[in-house]
Amino acid sequence: MGMSKIAIIGGGISGLALLHYLKQRYPVADITLYERKSETGGNIQSVAGEGFLFETGPNGFLNNSPATFEFISQLGLDDELACARSQHLPRYIQIKGQLLPVPRDMFQFMQTSLLSWGEKWMVMKGLFGPKISKNRPIYDYVSARFGRAAAEKLADPFISGIFAGDIKRLHMDHAFPKSKSRVKGQMYTFKKGMGQMICRINELYGPHIKVSTAIHSLKEIAADRIFCSSAAYASAALLADDAAPLAQTLEQIPYAPVVVVGLGFEKAAFKRIPDGFGYLIPSREGKEVLGVLMESNVFERRAPQNAVMVRVMLGGRHHPQIINDDPSELLAKAVAEVDKTYGLAQKPLKHWIKCWPKAIPQYEMEYPAVSARIRKEAAALPHLTLAGNYLNGVSVNECIGSARSIVQALGVFVFCVCVWGCEQKPSVRHYTEVIISSSEKDTAMPAMTGPHAGLGLDLSATAGKIAWDVPAGWRSEPASAMRLATFRLADDPQAMDASIVSLPGGAGGLEANLKRWLGQINLQVSDQELAEFISSSKDQVFDFTRLQTKASGEAKSMLAALVELNEATVFVKLTGSKHVVQKNKNSFLGLVKSIRLK
């Protein structure tokens, strides 16, 4: 296979599922998963306290995906599954403060007060009417087929429960493609919460998982293949230096913020005992609350006897500003919502608050074009595979199924190419595996030659014509897939990373590149500060230590420069601690001045 060393970046459910399937397929391979946080699982976390169980993210999954149950069985968790108490518990939509039950059958539909008789007729006519194109916003699709009331009162709250999104922006065909079933099925979780699955994966593959390990560039990893399963925005930051066009495209995937508040009550605290799954709130009601779920009604072991566990979801695409509220404000809003609906005689016994500034990727109207560019640009990096809920669906089922499909596809079609340096031996030292879908397998493979083969960028016009002088005390390392050169300090290679990269044209513009670099060193500045920084920098050389006047010598910093040659832009960058950057500034300036065409 030629995949003796594999790296996975991102420890959410997508990355963990990839780790599991890769270890199954390549049991002797050296596989390492890197997670920047102190724990894996991404949005999936189960927090227990005083007999309550709080889910910070998804609280379960539907049994409509055989791949998920196969995955669970392989983990040895069959006996730990917990089914929802009853699919017949009522679900509600809140209209003007009143809870109206969602009809479960045609008889209930005809009697519901959610819709008027005229609005019901529109729905019935749409059920038996001709199908229409799904290449439009969800709101437009549902309105055109079933009427505006169905879009606003039914589709809107239920889709907010999945995407926390705006149905006037979400793309119908990509949010709900024909090949995926999201609605039918029984709800399942685990006895100790969704986090039990994450804990099991950590137990099985602990030696292959490195937490609290942030990866800032692909150059930091020596692997035959890299799987990037981070969120789109995190993947963009990771690829900013090694694949700038792809990084810029990934940044175009928007995310909805969500705040999840858990409330543990004594049952006696409620003046009206909640009797169902909970309720969702249409966006036209103008509330910051998306919905309220009665967790202890849905699953067992969520609250002590004679107690109730409630989850309140707030924010979403319609109310992104809520993520900036103080925890006390968020708690007050959540409690007030429950009080207005059910009446409370007591305060909660316990509460939890989890804020997700970028919780759920949004498959909006621009998504088809953006996702197509992502796949095209990623295909030009054959050593890299992208995964995550921004590509093939946001649910737990879809993340697991996508990981399974990615690993199954490996090796179906293999294209061996000599990489730079292979000519040193008569045999090929490495090969790259390129996955081709069945619809693309007859397409001619692109020609791949030289150190930048397969990137989808024509660097040949400048790569072989650029020269530079290596500063004294620096050592030069071989070129890589994206870098023309990499430099380290000869006496302390880990202290500094300097590079030369050439990209066609303006490569996204000066301001966009500066903002990416600021993000790489975790430095935030206002637009005015950035404008002043640009105007005060001479000869397109940018010393980021000037923005870190209060930072210690150990803070990560950077020097960057842009050199324009012919129709390409040459980027020169040096990163290290503030002390190392300042100490090597003159050497860096000498390198920049020495860059020239041969």
- Residue scoring higher pLDDT (508 or 467): 467
Tell me: pLDDT of 504 over 60: no
The DSSP letter of residue 117 is: H
Q: Which residues, 6+ apart, have CB-to-CB distance to 238 below 8 Å?
A: 9, 215, 216, 217, 218, 228, 230, 247
Average confidence (pLDDT) over 184-199: 92
pLDDT, mean of residues 524-537? 86
Cα(223)–Cα(240) distance, integer angstroms = 19
Statement: residue 513 has pLDDT above 70:
yes
Secondary structure of the chain: what % helix, strand, coil (to 5)? 35, 25, 40
Percentage of the chain beyond pLDDT 90 is 69
Q: What is the pLDDT of residue 571?
A: 87
Residue 115 burial by Cβ neighbours in a 10 Å radius (0-12, 13-18, 19+)? buried
Mean pLDDT over 392-399 rounds to 94
Please give the pLDDT value at position 550: 58
Asked whether the beta carbons of 511 and 534 are under 8 A apart, the reply is yes
Q: Is the pLDDT of residue 458 over 60?
A: no
Give the residue-averaged pLDDT of 85-100. 90
* pLDDT at residue 455 is higher than 50: no
Tell me the mean pLDDT in the region 60-88.
89
Say yes or no to pLDDT of 129 above 80. yes
Per-residue model confidence (pLDDT) at position 460: 39
> d(Cα 564, Cα 25) in Å, to the nearest integer?
47
Q: DSSP characters for 220-259?
A: G---SEEEE-S-HHHHHHHHTTT-HHHHHHHTT--EEEEE
Q: What percent of the chain stands above pLDDT 70?
A: 86
Nearest to 301 by CA among 91, 90, 80, 88: 80
Among 182-191, 469-478, 556-565, the range scoring the smallest mean pLDDT is 182-191
Q: Distance between CA 251 and CA 237 in Å, rounded?
A: 9
Q: Is the pLDDT of residue 434 over 70?
A: no
- Using 50, 70 and 90 to split pLDDT, how confident is the model at 478? confident
> Span 276-281, mean pLDDT?
95
Strand bridging mode 225-228 / 5-9: parallel
pLDDT of residue 565: 78
- Residue with more model confidence, 148 or 532: 148
Decide: 370 and 171 in contact? Cβ < 8 Å.
no
Question: E strands within 21-110?
Answer: 30-34, 46-49, 52-55, 61-62, 81-83, 91-95, 98-101
- pLDDT value of residue 415: 29
Give the mean model confidence (pLDDT) for residues 480-487. Answer: 76
DSSP letter assigned to residue 353: E
Q: Is the pLDDT of residue 382 over 90?
A: no
Q: Write down the pLDDT at residue 566.
A: 67
Is 80 exceeded by the pLDDT of residue 506? no
| Residue 99 vs residue 568, higher pLDDT | 99
pLDDT tens-digit readout, 160-180: 999 999 999 999 999 988 645
Q: Is a pLDDT exceeding 60 seen at residue 459? A: no
Tell me how far apart the 2 most distant CA atoms of the chain are, in Å.
Answer: 84
Are the C-beta atoms of 35 and 10 separated by less than 8 Å? Answer: yes
User: What kind and span of H or E run contains 403?
Assistant: helix 396-409
Please report the pLDDT score of residue 322 as a whole number. Answer: 96
Write out pLDDT tens, residues 327-353: 999 999 999 999 999 999 999 999 999
Q: Residue 489's beta-bridge partner residues?
A: 474
Spatial contact of 416 and 432, defined as CB atoms under 8 Å apart: yes
Per-residue model confidence (pLDDT) at position 429? 29
Mean of pLDDT values over 375-403 = 94
pLDDT > 60? residue 524:
yes
pLDDT at residue 443 greater than cutoff 50 = no
The band of 551, judged by pLDDT with boundaries at 50, 70 and 90, is low
pLDDT in tens, 555-593: 889 999 988 876 667 889 999 999 999 999 999 999 999
What pLDDT, in 10s, does the model give residues 102-121? 998 899 999 999 999 999 99
Q: Is the pLDDT of residue 422 over 60?
A: no
Q: Is the dihedral of CA 15, 323, 517, 507 positive or negative?
A: positive
User: 350: how many CB neighbours lie within 10 A of its CB?
Assistant: 16
At 411, is the pLDDT very low, low, confident or very high (cuts 50, 70, 90)?
low
CA distance 454 to 560: 26
What's the whole-number average pLDDT of the chain?
Answer: 86
Cβ–Cβ under 8 Å, residues 358 and 371:
no
Compute the average pLDDT of residues 211-223. 93
pLDDT score, position 213: 96
Which pLDDT belongs to residue 419? 29
